[in-house]
């Protein structure tokens, strides 16, 4: 079945450091891929998405590229801020769209 | 004008009680979901409804019963609460077949004592 694997956290960085959170997936067909972010005490919110191979999703300085050859969708940001501290979830939706598979989440701490 | 709302935000109750969580979305979406998030932040889908029809029912104890009176509402009723039911429950919605991104509510933190 479909699955998502993302790097375990927590990840602790200093402000302005470069961020990478790895995500790989297993799926049949051509799923859509997502990164969601969950700030403390809140629900998840969509950060970015990509719907086909080689698409790059971007938002708020974050980027991720849909790599079909490596089945990956790694999240990157060039310079993190304290306000980026949150839990990040990689996810995929199958072509039917009704079921989204979430990774285990990666907690990011950014120190001033 | 909250997109996906849930009530209550906090729920503290004793083992054996029955409780309900309500969810409403004003986005005009066709599909709604219930998720359970444990203390390690792992998110597990419980149910999914499309146009009031149940389409996903994961291996959830039958003490949990979802009800969708219309497309904009998906409520979750839990009978005979157990300690292991303590978690944060999230409602979400999406367009369904045309767009797969999901919009989440703020969550309901359920504590069973």
Segment A60-64 mean pLDDT: 97
Please give, rounded to a whole number of angstroms, the shortest distance from the CA of B62 to a CA of chain A. 20
Residue B11 contacts residue B19 (beta carbons within 8 Å): yes
The predicted structure's pLDDT at residue A53 = 93
* pLDDT digits 0-9 by tens, B83-109: 999 999 999 999 866 678 899 999 999
Write the residue in A34, A45, A102 that is nearest to B43 by C-beta. Answer: A102
Q: Is the pLDDT of residue A16 over 70?
A: yes
**CB-based contact (8 Å) between A97 and chain B?**
yes
Whether A44 has a pLDDT exceeding 70, the answer reads yes
Would you say residue A17 has pLDDT above 70? yes
Cα pseudo-dihedral B43, B49, B50, B52, rounded to 10: -160
Closest-CA residue of chain A to B5: A43
Smallest CA–CA distance, residue B104 to chain A, in Å, is 6
How far apart (Å, rounded) are the C-alpha atoms in residues A79 and A84?
10
Q: What is the Cα–Cα distance from A30 to A92, expressed in whole angstroms?
A: 10
- Mean pLDDT over A35-63 rounds to 96
| Res B1: pLDDT | 65
Q: Residues B51-86: pLDDT tens digits?
A: 888 888 888 999 999 999 999 999 999 999 999 999
Cα–Cα distances (Å) from B92 to A59, A61, B9, B34, B73, in that order, read: 21, 25, 15, 6, 11
> Does B73 contact A at CB distance below 8 Å?
no
- Residue B26, token pair as written in the block: 């004003």
The residue ranges of DSSP E strands in B38-80, in sequence order, are 43-50, 53-57, 64-70, 73-78
pLDDT for A72-108, tens place per residue?
Answer: 999 999 999 999 999 999 999 876 667 889 999 999 9
On whether any CB of chain A is under 8 Å from the CB of B5, the answer is: no
On average, the pLDDT of chain A sits at 94
Burial status of residue B110 (CB atoms within 10 A of its CB: 0-12, 13-18, 19 or more): buried
Q: Which of A43, A97, A105 sits opposite B97 (nearest CB)?
A: A97
């Amino acid at each position: 079945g479909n699955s998502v694997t993302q790097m375990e956290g927590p990840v602790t960085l200093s402000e302005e450091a470069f961020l990478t959170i790895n995500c790989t997936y297993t799926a049949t067909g051509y799923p859509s891929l997502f990164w969601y972010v969950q700030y403390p005490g809140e629900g998840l919110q969509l950060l970015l998405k990509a719907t086909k191979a080689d698409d790059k999703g971007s938002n708020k300085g974050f980027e991720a590229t849909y790599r079909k050859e490596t089945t990956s969708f790694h999240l990157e940001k060039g310079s993190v801020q304290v306000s980026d501290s949150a839990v990040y979830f990689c996810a995929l939706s199958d072509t039917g769209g009704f079921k989204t598979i979430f990774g285990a989440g990666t907690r990011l701490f950014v120190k001033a | 004008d909250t997109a996906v709302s849930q009530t209550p935000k906090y729920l503290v109750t004793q083992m054996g009680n029955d409780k309900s969580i309500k969810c409403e979305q004003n986005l005009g979406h066709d599909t709604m979901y219930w998720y359970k998030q444990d203390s390690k932040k792992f998110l597990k889908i419980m149910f999914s409804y499309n146009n009031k029809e149940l389409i996903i029912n994961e291996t959830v104890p039958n003490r949990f019963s979802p009800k969708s009176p219309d497309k904009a509402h998906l409520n979750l009723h839990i009978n005979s609460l157990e300690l292991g039911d303590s978690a944060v429950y999230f409602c979400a919605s999406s367009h369904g077949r045309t767009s797969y991104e999901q919009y989440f509510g703020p969550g309901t933190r359920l504590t069973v004592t």
